[in-house]
Amino acid sequence: MRNFEEMKQLIKQIEGSDYAVPAGIDLDGLIADMLSYVGHIDSDLREGVYSTFANWSDNGVLSTDQIRHVLYVAMDDRHLFLGIGESGTDSVFMRAFASLLVSVALYMHDKNPFLTKTEIETVKATVLRYVAQEKDYRGYVQGKGWAHAIAHAADALAHIACVDKAVDADGEYTVGRDGMLEILNATQMLAINSQLVYDAQEDERLAVVVIDVLDSQVLSQDDMLGWLTKLGADIERVVLPSDNFRRINQKHFMRSLYFLMVSDDSHEGPSKLLFDILTKEK
């Protein structure tokens, strides 16, 4: 495996050449090395590895088999679950950026389905298991750059929700009603953490998940109303001052969700349902 200096220089070279694959490089071997550095504490290397994976996936450098390989490695115990449950440690960078690789794979599937229904179910279950255990809520870490685990987790949830806009590799629809409700509940859990107040637009990224769930047109009005009722009940259970962080996060999340609706001047399409529910007079 390439050492840190070799890897950083190579990634810098790739970025500087508009992401061209260097001549004479064993691509599979390079992918393996890049996966080892995807969560490095050096922010330039970490973000360079991610951007290279994203570019190569979107521009056809990586085959679907290679993207699938990256996806499954990203979800393993040395990546998405490395140090899971820790807070304030450097392991968050691996988890957070492994989560981004999951989003890259799902984005590519949305463009041209290659994952089966079973594989998508595995991705959904794995991401939901990860989200339930992530305890590091930091956004920007001084001296080490973006961790942003919650925002990246929100992106992964949003991409899973978007899968039902297309079919899988076998021509079937995938996540379904129960899966969408699981995604909404996971989003709510992330949005109302009580450990600190989000300060890096996590509330907006989480609100997007709700919109993508709604736009899938899988859930009924009763489903959405039931979820919003549960969210409202959770807000009413807050006890101040001990739950102050939780209360602030709740309010920020609901405001982001509301204004995401308001920003659509036409209020047309599936998102109109949520707008009507949120603006309905009591």
Whether 148 contacts 103, CB under 8 Å: no
Residue type for position 112: N
pLDDT by residue for the chain (282 residues), tens only, comes to 999 999 999 999 999 999 999 999 999 999 999 999 999 999 999 999 999 999 999 999 999 999 999 999 999 999 999 999 999 999 999 999 999 999 999 999 999 999 988 999 999 999 999 999 999 999 999 999 999 999 999 999 999 999 865 555 565 557 889 999 999 999 999 998 888 999 999 999 999 999 999 888 888 888 988 998 888 777 777 777 778 998 899 889 989 998 887 776 544 555 566 666 666 644
DSSP string, 130-161: HHHH-----SEETTTEE--HHHHHHHHHHHHH
Handedness of CA 34, 39, 42, 44 (dihedral sign): positive
Whether residue 231 is contained in a domain is answered as: yes
The answer to whether position 131 is within a domain reads yes
Residue 265 in domain: yes
In a domain, 203, yes or no: yes
Query: What is the span of the domain harbouring residue 257?
Result: 75-279
Residue at 52 is within a domain: no
Q: Residue 176: left (phi > 0), alpha (psi -120 to 50), or beta?
A: left
pTM of the model: 0.92
CA 269 to chain CA centroid, Å, is 24
Domains contained in the chain, number: 1
Q: Examine residue 140 and state whether it is found in any structural domain, yes or no.
A: yes
- Asked if residue 2 belongs to a domain, the reply is no
Residue at 272 is within a domain: yes
